[in-house]
Amino acid sequence: MTMKPAYKDLQKVVNRLGFGTQCHKAIETMLEASGGLLSECERQPLVSKVPGKEYFSFGGKSGLRSRPINSGLYSISNQSSFETFLDILSGNRHSYTADEITGAVYTAAISCCAAIDVISKADRKTQGTLFEWLCATLVQATLNVIPTRSLDVLNLDLKGKLPTDFIFDLGIEKPKFHLPVKTSTRERIIQVWAHQRVLDGVYGTGRFLAMPFILTETKLDLKTLTVTEICLPWQWRLYQMHIANLWNVCYLDVPSDYLKLNSVFPPVNVVTVGDILTAGGAIDILLQAHEL
């Protein structure tokens, strides 16, 4: 199957049945379509201004170019990354190291986004939606709970529905996760802190644990083929101190400027998706503490 029908099929399953095991097969088809398409594209090395990271880009037949891809994280050889990703979805995340998980999730997500990049001139909305579906499916497989996208507000004379990012509610007196999903954030990240602030205000501080899932912060200059990372660590510290507290900011391609925020006081916890999901990682510690 090619990309567009694979995308449409996945969309149908997601809209009808959500992010459970029913959509794993459609995700597998989507990954195969992405891998097939990209294998026919030329790899263009990029000039990396990001210390310690190398990037390349796929060039499509119509002259369209994909977003930058981190060579150290991307590994498509013999399809093992896709297999690992699907195995993690099927419940075997404890079989892999943090680095293996990060590589597999990154490869799956960036492949889907890059495959759309090289066939579509349109805005980046499709890629963002696809990334949301992959992350929601991954987190549903991990927490074994179906996400919602709104919450009831019942507070004196205020009654209504608050639209939210993905909410994974583990039950009465159990953790509730607030999961914004973004392919990149730049200055828009302040929205994540602001939404968390509203949740803290409406439901009580600490009631929801914010765990944004972010693909990367790379920026490609198409003229010079140069990759940079756009990071605002100084603003993040002010947001964490003055707006709300994010539980763990989870990256697939984590910027080192944000990793440094783990070691300033007060810290912002910045982790890779592997750190979060691996055996004994942040999710396991939390689930064990709540006997889940």
Can you give the binding site for its own copies, defined by CB under 8 A?
A: 153, 158, 160, 162-163, 188, 190-191, 193-195, 197-198, 200-202, 234-235, 237-239, 241-243
Q: Whose Cβ is closer to its own copies: residue 52's or residue 266's?
A: 266
Convert 245-276 to b/e letters by CB count within 10 Å (16 or more is b). Answer: bbbbbbbbbbbebbeebeeeeeebbbbbbbbb
Rounded Cα distance, 208 and 199, in Å: 7
Q: What is the smallest separation between the CB atom of 87 and its own copies, expressed in angstroms?
A: 36
Question: At how many degrees (to 10) do helices 24-39 and 80-89 cross?
Answer: 170
DSSP type of residue 292: -
Convert 129-157 to b/e letters by CB count within 10 Å (16 or more is b). Answer: bbbbbbbbbbbbbbbebebeeebeeeeee
Q: What is the smallest separation between the CB atom of 166 and its own copies, expressed in angstroms?
A: 16
Q: What is the smallest separation between the CB atom of 88 and its own copies, expressed in angstroms?
A: 32
Q: Whose Cβ is closer to its own copies: residue 47's or residue 194's?
A: 194
Q: Whose Cβ is closer to its own copies: residue 53's or residue 67's?
A: 67
Burial class (CB in 10 A: 0-12, 13-18, 19+), 105: buried
Q: Whose Cβ is closer to its own copies: residue 155's or residue 288's?
A: 155
Q: What is the smallest separation between the CB atom of 128 and its own copies, expressed in angstroms?
A: 14
Rounded Cα distance, 247 and 271, in Å: 10
Q: Whose Cβ is closer to its own copies: residue 82's or residue 239's?
A: 239
Rounded Cα distance, 120 and 51, in Å: 30
* Beta-carbon-side half-sphere exposure of residue 161 (alpha carbons within 13 Å): 6
Q: What is the smallest separation between the CB atom of 159 and its own copies, expressed in angstroms?
A: 10
Rounded Cα distance, 181 and 235, in Å: 20
Q: What is the smallest separation between the CB atom of 162 and its own copies, expressed in angstroms?
A: 7
Q: Whose Cβ is closer to its own copies: residue 162's or residue 287's?
A: 162
Q: How many CB atoms lie within 10 A of CB 26?
A: 22
Q: Whose Cβ is closer to its own copies: residue 52's or residue 163's?
A: 163
Q: Position of tokens 């992350």?
A: 135
Q: What is the smallest separation between the CB atom of 262 and its own copies, expressed in angstroms?
A: 17
